[in-house]
Chains A and B, each alone.
Chain A
C-alpha cells in the first residue's frame, strides 16, 4: 500500500506548481506532527489525513501537544497546508461528478461550488489565524480588534484584509504581532494584503475607527478603500468593533432616502468611473484576464447597486439574490449577471488551482493545454472539431459580451439615481443664486479621485445651463478666470473621457468656443505628463469613437499633429496597439481632409461610430456599406429607406475617398465612385417612384418611357463632383406621365441635395420642369442658334443611369445621330471656335484664374471638349473616360501619340483635382499653399514641385490640343 505522502502527491499532481509550497510543508513536518500527537495520545482527536470538519478543535489540539512556539507554528501551518490540499481535492472530485449530473445546465453547479469553496476556505483560514494569534498574543494587553476579509472570499494568491482596532493599548506591539502572523501566512498559507490600513492611520497593519473618520470625513479619496469596506466580513475578532465600524464608517456610503447622501454619491462616482473605464478596455486577443475582463466590473456594479438598495450582504451571489427581490425591474439583468459571475469565478478558481495563481492567461500552446485541463474539470468535452478548451474560451468571450450588454442598463439606472440625489443638482436650477463655474469646483473638492460625471455633463448639453456656466465663468477677472480654468483641468485631467466630453460640449456650442479654446490649450500644455495618457485616450476612443472623432474635428492641424505625437508611445498590449493604430489613422484622415470630405465622414461616423474601426481597411468598409444597402429593403417607411440609402452613399463616398488618399489610381477611384453613385441614383429613383405610387395607389410602368441620364462630370465617370448634372427624358407627351415623372424627380432632388451634391437639370430652364420629352429635345436642337452646340454637347456626353437600353437606343437614334453625328462638321467647328474663344477670354479678360484646373487653359474643360470633338468625329457613343482615349488611339494612328499624351495629362489633372478636393477643398482653383497634403499623397513631397508640374501639364495640354485640333478641324 502506498504511504500517505505518495498518495497525497498523486492526488494533488494536477494542481499547479504553487501547491508545492504546501506539499513541502507537509513532507517536512507531517511525520513529526503525527509522532507528537501519538506521543501525547491525541492522534485520534485530530482529523489529519482526511478532510476535517472541525478545524478549530483540531488546531487547538495540535497547539496543545507542541513543546514550543516554533513547533506550534510549524505544526499548525502543516495542518493548514494539508487541509487546504485535501479540501481542494475533495471539491474538485465533487465538481467533476456534479457537472456530469448537470449535463449542460452547469452554471447553478458552478455557483454552488464557489459558495461552498469560499465558506470552507474562510473557515480554515479564520481558525488558523486565530491559532496564530493565540501563539503570538499570549497574555499581553492588546487593543480590541477585528480582522476583516475585504476581498474575494476563496483561495487566491492573497487575502485582502482590513484590521480595525480600538486605538488603545500597545498598538505598536499589536502591529508587530500582525506582521508575524502575516509572515507565517506567507510561508504556510496565503499572504495577507493590507490595503485599508496602508492608507488609513499611522500603523501599517491596523487602523482605528477614529483614524478612518479623520481620513474619510472630508473627501472620497480612494474608492477602492470604500469598496473593500463595503465587502468587509469578519474573519476573526470583536463583533462590537465591527458593528461600530459599520455604523460609524461604512453606513455613510449607503443611500439614505431622507438623509445626507454626499458620501453615497461620492462612492458611486468613484465606482462608476471604474466600471466605465473597464468597459472601455478593449478585449485582448492574445490573453484573457478574469479580473479585468469581467469580475471587477461585475462586482463593482453589484456593489454600487447594493448601496442604493441598502443591502448589507457581502457575498456577490447573496447580494444578487437580494437585488432580484428588491429591484424587480432589473430581475433579468441580475439573473444574466449571476450566470456570468458564476462562470468567471469558477473558471478563475479552477485555473488558479490547476495552473498558476495569475489573473492573466496568455493564450499560447502551453497555456491552452492547461486550459484544456480546466475545461475538462468544468464539464466541457470535445465536440466534433471543437475542442473542450476552445468551447470554454468561446463561452468566456460570450460571457464578456453578455456583461458588456447588460451593465450599461444598470449603469444608466444609477445615473438616473445620481441625478435625483446629487449635491450638484440644485446648481442647475434656473433660480440658483450662486456662481455655477466656481461652485462646481468647490463642491468637486470632496469628490477628488472620482471619475463619473456623465449625469452632470449631460446637464451641460442644455444650452441655457451651458450659457449660464459660461457667463458665470466669464464674470470673473482674468486672473480668477485663469485659476478656475486650471481648476477644471485638475478636475478632468485624470478622467480624460469626462474632460473630452466637456470640451466637445463647449466646442460645439457657439457661446462656449472661447472657453473651449482656453481649456483645450491648457490640456495640451499638460497632457504630455499625464500618466498613461496614450492608453487612456485609446480606451476612450475604443468605447466612444464618436466622441473622439467630434473632438478631433474641433482641433486645428497643429493640435492634431501634437496628438499624433502623444499617442505614438510604446505600449505593450496588442489590442491597444490596434486601437492606437486606428486612432492614428483617424487623425491622419482629419489632417488630410478638406471640409468637403470631412462633411461626409463626420456625418457617417456620427451615425455609425463602429465604422471608425474600419477606416483602415476600405474592403471591410465596403462590406459594411453593402450591409447598410441591404438594410434598405428592411426599412418600414420610405423616409427610413431614403435615409438608409443616403447613409450608403456617404459611406461609399468615405470609402472611395480614403482609397484616393491611399493613392489608388484615378481609373479605380472613378470606376468605384461611378458604380456606387449610379447605384444610389437608380435605387433612389426606385424608392421615390414607389413612394409616389403608394400615394397614388397605383403603379405606373415607366420602363421604356423614362430615362435619367447623367451629364457633366458624373457622365464622364468623374469622382467627387459637388454637383450632379441630370437630364431626365421622357418618351411620351402624356401630361399625366410628365406630371408623375416630375414628382419622382422632385423627390429625388430633395435627397440628392442632402448628400451635399446639387442636382442641375440642364433643360429645366427652357421648359420649366425637370422632365422633358424626346420631342421637345428634338425641337430644341433644331433651333438655329450659335450656342446650340452647348445643348448638343450635353446630349453627346450624356450617360444612361436609369432606364432601358431600348430607350437609350431610341435616344441615340432620334437625338445623337441626326443632330450631332450627322452634322459633325458643324458641331466640331462650333466646338473649336468655342475653345478658341474661351482661351481668348481667359487670356485677355483674366476672367478665369490661370490656376483653375477646370476652366483654365489646358485644364480639364479643354480635354473634355477635345474628347467630345473626338466622339463626334468618330461617332462614338461610349462615355468620356480613359478607355475612350485608349480605344481611339489604338484605331487612329495619326492621333495616337497626341492622344496618349493627352490621356496621361488628363490622368494627372483628374488625380490632382480628386486629391485636392479631398485634402484642400471642393474648389477648382489650385492654391499652391494648400497643396502640401496633396503633394505628399501624390509623391511630390513639395507643394512647389506639384504646382510646377500642374502648370507644366496645362501647357502641354494646350500644345496637344492645338495639334489635335489641326488634325480634326476639317472632317
Chain B
C-alpha cells in the first residue's frame, strides 16, 4: 500500500480554469474588528525612537451586493474588463477649527541633522525667519483658511459666474437635497447608522479625529477618538459602484456640517453631508464623464468646487451645488488655456500642453462641469494641490508627472519616471518639492522650480520591493532644511525617508548635470525656488523676498522660470548621475498590499487593501514634546 503524500493545500482556493461557476460565495456581512496585537514584529525603530502598533482596526469588506453576482467567469483568460478597484483609503478629519500651531521645529533639530553640510545661507535664512516653516500639516492638520490670505487668488475667482450664491446665514451651510436614509435610489443599497449616533456625536471630544474610509462598495464614517471606534457612525453600502476615492472639505467642516465627496468606479460622484445624512449625485450616469474616478479632492479654499481625476486622463472641476449637463468640449474662448483652435479634432501633443476642454473662465457656468482639462489618454492615478494653492501635481499611468498651474490652466512642466507608471504624488509642506512613487519601485524627489524634465530630479529613493502605492510627508518631522516623508507599497512595506538640502550627493558623474547656479552655491544640491538661472546674490535676494512672504510661501515664480524653458527636450536622468536615497526605515507592516498612509501628531496610520487600518504611535518622548508644542 502506498502512502500518499498529503493533498497540496497550496494554491489558494480558486475556481479551476474553465469550470462553470460553483456555488455562490457565502459571504455575510461582518463587523469591524479592533485588535491590539503586540510583539516585536509590531514595532519599528527609527532614529527618533520606536514606533509601536497601537491598534489594528479591521474594516469589514462588504459582501457583494445580491444583484451583483459573484464573479462567475472562472476563466482566467476572460477578456471581460475588470471593474476598477481601489484599496482602503482614509481621510482623517479634525473638526477642531482653532488654528493648530504649526509644528515649528527650527530650534529643535537634534535628530538626524546633517547640519555640518548645511549651506550657511540657508542657516541664516532660518534664523532670520522663524515664521518660515512647514506650514500645511497635510490633510489632517487644520489649515486655518480663514486666518490668512493666500498669495494666489482663489480658483475661479476671476469668473463672477462661479461666485457662490450668497447665503443669508454664513453659518448655515447649504445641504444636499436628498435624504440618504430615506432614499430609494438604486445607487445606494443600504445605509446603517449607529444606534446612538447623535449621542456619540455629542459626547465626543471636540478635537477628536474622524475617519472616512472607502472599502470596495462600502463607505464608513468612523470616530477614531471614541473608545468604541470599531463601531462605525455610519456605513453606506452602494449597489454596484465601488467607491474608489473621497475627500472632505476642510473649509466647510464644522460640528454640524461636513462636506464629503466620493468618486466611484462608474464615474459618478456623490456629495454627502454625513451629519444630516443628505446627499446629492453628480455626474449621474456618467453624463459628463463615464470613466471611473481615480482621485478626488476639494480645491483648497473652495467651499463648492472640487477636482476629480477620471481614468481617461481628464481632470474635471465640479461644483457641488450645480446640476449636471451633458458635456461637449468647448472651443477655447480666448486661447488662454493653451488649447489650439479645433484642438479636439486634431492631435494634441500632451507632452507640451493640456487640452482645456472647458475653461474655468467659460461664460457657460450654469451647470457642471465647471472646467475640464484633458491631460492625456492615460489614466490619472493621483494628483496633489501645492500648499501655495496655485500648482497641481498630477501623476499618470504613462509615467508622467505634470505640474500644472491650475489657476491659469496651464501645463508648466512634465517629468518622466525612470520607467513604468507613477502611482502617487505629494508636495512637501513648504511646496518646494514633489515626491512621487511609481511602478519602478522608486521614490522620486522633484524640485519643480529646478526646471523641466530630468533636471528637476533631486534624488531617487530605492527601498521598496514592489510598486509604491502612497507617499506622504510627515509635517511634524519636517523643517526648512530636512524633510521626512513616508511611503507604502505593494510589498507591504512602509518606508520612511529623510532628506535634507545638503545631504544629497550625486554619484560620480554629477558634474555632467547642467545647472546654471550650481557653482555659486557649493555644498548645496538643492536650490530653493527662485534661484533659477540667477547668480548667488540674486538667489539670496530672492530668498529674502521669499522670507517676507507669507509662511505658505508661493512658488509663483516657478511659472516664470519654466515658461521660457518650455519645449526643451525632456529626458530621463540616468542612474549614474542621480543621487540615490536610502530609506531610514523599511519594514513590512501588514499582511496585505498597503494602499495608504497618513501622519497625525502622534501616530502614523497605514491601511491595506484588505481593510486593516493600523495606527503606529510615535516614540513617546516625541509625542509628549509635540503636545507641549502644540498646546503652547
Are both chains from one complex? Answer: no
Q: Which residues of A contact B (CB under 8 A)?
A: none
